[in-house]
Structure formats: structure tokens, C-alpha cells
């Protein structure tokens, strides 16, 4: 994923919006119980690497999502898919420093009712930060919001509009000897990130906070958040865009391929999904989540 929006307020459901940007021809399946090793988890399946970008554990009232980070890439022959991380975290498994050397940089966001933690790996160091009450946005360069209202990611590098090295054509990756998934991050420079944050951080902060209830239609459940995660009327080529589309050349396109909305409270879990970002009619409640959260 490239953007996550998280809202934490005492006594209210934790709300998470996850926007996934990826090569548009990378195959995936809609959220379901795809992993025999994790039968209690529900999420979208990345058919190339077998993992996910966001996983929900309904009974445990937990959600975890992963964003590409920035830093030193893993050794090619030892590289592992970051899509394994949300599965482990949603299942309650700890993130062990000794097992991270095979992963490219990432930010792993895990939330439960009343609590959220962001764990970041830059290829050398791992950090952990508990996110307090408020509205938080996480992007590829890190946390883009804090209680002081700072709209710059705390660990942001200097502005750079050049596409990252890991948006290279797949042929180049094969020549490097990689056997796992291609290294891909959004081909957005820092100016794009800052423009997105500058527009959407105040928009989410001033929007009426949703109070999703089980069984409600998606528009009723998510209220003022739904037009925002559907793009807020901004063209996909605009630097401010939350839903993006970029022509990489050679017939390859990078864009937003799905959006997820999750609400967690001690008594209920709600998980809504759109595989056609920007289309208000494409949203649906992920089946099996509410029933699995009972008990």
C-alpha cells in the first residue's frame, strides 16, 4: 500500500482506510480466507507472492497493513515478500529483528480497539511507535501526521521527484537474479507525497468521523470518509491525488488497485472493500467478517 489513514479516539471504533497502489497488471483476488496457515484471517490475496497488503483478524479485533518504505534494499537472493508481514502481525506474531534482513524497507501498521502501533524497517534499523489519539496518515516515507499537526513525515528524506529504483522493468529484475516478487514502490516523488498530505490531512481531520455499524449500507456506514477515499474529485494525474495512475512506459502502468475500510470495536468488526477505486457503486462489505467476529 502507499497510503493509510488511521483514526483513534477513546471509546470509539478504530478506523482504518488503506489505499493500495501497485502495478495494475499484478494479479490479485478479493478479500477472503486465502491462507490455510492462517484460517482466521481475511484479506486480499496477492497472486504473485502469496501474501497480502492488509489482513483482518475478526475474532481478535485486529487489522494489519504494510506499506513500502525507503532505505536499503534486501540482498537479491535472500529477498522475501513483505506481503507475509500483515499475516503474521494480524495473527499476533511478534516482529523479530533477526528475521527482517530478507525484507525490503517497510512500515507495518497494526491496530486493535484503542491501540495502534507502527513498526518501520529501513533495511538496517527497526523502530516502533505507538500512535496516540487523533488522525494519522502514513505514506511511504513514514508517519505524515503527529499531535502537533506537522504534515511532513517525521523521517522524510529531502524532496526528490525521481521514480524509485525499484520501479524498474521486470526484465532488469530478472537479470539481477531475483526469484521473488519485483521490487516496486509508487513512482511518486516527495513533491507528490507532500501535495497529497497537504490536501487530505486537513480534509480527513475536518470531516465528520464515521461511526460504522454492522449491517449498514456502505455509504451510511462511512459517511463523510467515503467521498475522500473515492478520490475527493481529484484527477488521478494530479500531484495531490490519493487515487493515482502513472504511465511507466513499455506498456506498464502504476495505479491504485483497491481501497479498504476497516472499523474495529470491542463488540464488532466491519471490513468494506472496493476493487474499482473511485467508483462509489463498487463498494461491498467483505463476507464472513461480521459472523467471524462474534464470539
Distance between CA atoms of residues 124 and 143, nearest Å: 18
pLDDT at 137 > cutoff 90: yes
pLDDT at 145 > cutoff 70: no
pLDDT at 189: 64
Record the pTM. Answer: 0.86
pLDDT tens figures, 105-136: 999 999 999 999 999 999 999 999 999 999 99
Q: Residue 184 — very low, low, confident or very high, per pLDDT cuts 50/70/90?
A: very low
Angle among Cα 234, 277, 104 to the nearest 5 degrees reads 100
The label of the residue with cell 523479530 reads 96
Distance between CA atoms of residues 58 and 36, nearest Å: 16
Question: Where is 116: in which H helix or E strand?
Answer: strand 115-121
Q: Residue 291 — very low, low, confident or very high, per pLDDT cuts 50/70/90?
A: low
Q: Look at phi and psi of residue 293 and say left if phi exceeds 0, alpha if psi is from -120 to 50, else beta.
A: alpha
* Mean pLDDT rounded to a whole number for the chain: 86
Q: Considering only residues 173 and 79, tell me which one the structure prediction assigns the higher pLDDT.
A: 79
pLDDT at 22: 95
pLDDT at 192: 87
pLDDT at 172 > cutoff 60: no
Lowest-confidence pick of 17-21, 82-86, 158-162: 158-162
Average confidence (pLDDT) over 180-190: 46
Q: Residue 288 — very low, low, confident or very high, per pLDDT cuts 50/70/90?
A: confident
pLDDT at 186 > cutoff 70: no
Lowest-confidence pick of 23-32, 82-91, 148-157: 148-157
Amino acid at each position: 500500500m502507499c497510503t493509510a489513514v488511521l483514526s483513534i479516539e477513546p471509546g470509539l471504533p478504530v478506523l482504518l482506510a488503506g489505499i493500495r497502489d501497485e502495478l495494475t497488471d499484478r494479479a490479485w483476488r478479493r478479500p477472503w480466507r486465502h491462507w490455510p496457515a492462517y484460517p482466521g484471517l481475511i484479506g486480499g490475496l496477492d497472486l504473485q507472492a502469496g501474501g497480502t497488503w492488509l489482513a483482518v483478524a475478526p475474532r481478535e479485533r485486529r487489522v494489519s497493513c504494510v506499506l513500502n518504505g525507503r532505505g536499503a534494499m534486501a540482498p537479491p537472493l535472500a529477498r522475501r515478500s513483505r506481503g507475509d508481514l500483515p499475516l503474521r502481525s494480524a495473527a499476533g506474531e511478534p516482529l523479530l529483528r533477526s528475521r527482517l534482513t530478507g525484507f525490503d524497507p517497510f512500515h507495518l501498521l497494526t491496530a486493535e480497539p484503542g491501540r495502534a502501533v507502527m513498526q518501520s524497517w529501513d533495511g538496517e534499523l527497526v523502530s516502533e511507535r505507538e500512535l496516540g489519539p487523533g488522525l494519522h496518515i502514513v505514506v511511504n516515507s513514514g508517519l505524515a501526521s503527529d499531535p502537533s499537526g506537522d504534515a511532513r513525515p517525521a523521517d522524510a528524506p529531502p524532496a526528490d521527484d525521481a521514480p524509485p529504483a525499484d520501479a524498474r522493468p521486470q526484465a532488469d529484475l530478472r537479470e539481477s537474479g531475483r526469484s521473488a516478487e519485483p521490487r516496486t514502490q509508487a513512482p511518486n516523488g516527495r513533491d507528490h507525497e507532500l501535495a497529497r498530505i497537504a490536501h487530505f490531512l486537513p480534509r480527513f481531520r475536518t470531516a465528520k468521523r464515521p461511526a460504522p455499524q454492522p449491517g449498514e449500507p456502505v455509504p451510511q456506514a462511512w459517511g463523510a470518509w467515503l467521498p475522500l477515499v473515492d478520490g475527493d474529485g481529484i484527477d488521478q494525474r494530479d500531484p495531490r491525488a490519493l487515487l493515482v495512475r502513472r504511465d511507466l512506459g513499455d506498456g506498464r502502468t502504476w495505479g491504485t488497485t483497491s481501497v479498504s475500510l476497516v472499523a474495529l470495536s470491542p463488540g464488532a468488526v466491519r471490513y468494506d472493500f472496493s476493487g474499482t477505486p473511485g467508483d462509489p457503486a463498487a463498494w461491498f462489505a467483505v463476507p464472513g467478517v461480521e459472523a467471524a467476529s462474534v464470539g
